[in-house]
Amino acid sequence: MIQLYNVFKTYNGNTPALVDISLLIKERSFVFITGASGAGKSTLLKLLFGWERFDSGQILVKGMNVGKIKKEKLYLLRRHIGVVFQDYKLLPNKTVFENVAFALEVTGASARSIRYKTSDALKSVGLFKKRDSHPMQLSGGEQQRVGIARALVHNPAILLADEPTGNLDPDISLEILKLFEMANQQGMTVVFATHNHELVRRANYPFIILDKGNVVRP
């Protein structure tokens, strides 16, 4: 499903962000990526959906050779992936419903299936009632639910989460974690980057520790 072989990544010639990373993430698995700030967690996720290019090595995602995909064709990879961000990345001038529907709209889905799937995704994160609110009218936890609904709505094979609970209270964080577990149970591969050790310990999934760009214990 996700395979990395001897991957190196350096940002404009500075200190390396990822050093000789090789790892395998199986289909339908749930994996944490942890490590101190600056360890390279975000960088690793960005490589997986083709947001950053890497210097050498190989990355295979859903059978696609990520390093070989042309910029104009990266959307093909990204349509298999849902991404959840620490800062939610919601569009403030769109309603909750429109924010989630947006992920389907850009793929050219029909209006009917957009309506249907968006409602479904909002129900699954428990926010259907707030579909007409704007992001600014929601709490942080609710905003992140919208972000998760948007990542789930096109039913991707892989869910990448970069510190999705970084801005949230511990209680809310656990609820958010449950949503990812639910997605995992429905068959999605989840890669969850966090430096919240509490969360990692309670959930009891395999984890990858990064330290200064190196894998410490796979």
Ligand X SMILES: Nc1ncnc2c1ncn2[C@@H]1O[C@H](COP(=O)(O)OP(=O)(O)OP(=O)(O)O)[C@@H](O)[C@H]1O
Distance set, CA 123 to CA 75, 81, 144 (Å): 27, 20, 14
* Residue 116 interacts with which of Mg ion, ligand X, other proteins, none, CB < 5 to 8 Å by class: none
Q: Which residues contact 113 (CB under 8 A, 6 or more apart)?
A: 104
Q: Judged by CB under 5 A, does residue 34 bind Mg ion? A: no
Minimum distance, C-beta of residue 189 to ligand X, in the bound complex (Å): 20
Residues that bind other proteins (CB under 8 A): 49, 51, 71-72, 74-76, 78-79, 81, 83, 89, 91, 102-103, 105-108, 150, 154
Reading the block at residue 54, the tokens are 């890497």
b/e map of 84-122 (b: 16 or more CB within 10 Å)?
A: bbbebebeeeebbbbbbbbbbeeeebeeeebeebbbebb
Size, binding site for Mg ion by CB under 5 A: 1
Q: By C-beta, is 37 or 110 nearer to ligand X?
A: 37
165 counts as binding Mg ion under rule CB under 5 A? no
- Tell me how far, at minimum, the Cβ of 23 lies from other proteins, in Å: 23
CB 108 to other proteins: min, Å: 7
Residue 53: phi and psi, rounded to 5, are -95, 155
Least CB distance to ligand X at residue 146 (A): 22
Residue 42 lies near Mg ion (rule: CB under 5 A): yes
Handedness of CA 147, 152, 154, 156 (dihedral sign): positive
Of 88 and 97, nearer to Mg ion (C-beta) is 88
Residues at the contact surface with Mg ion, assessed by CB under 5 A: 42
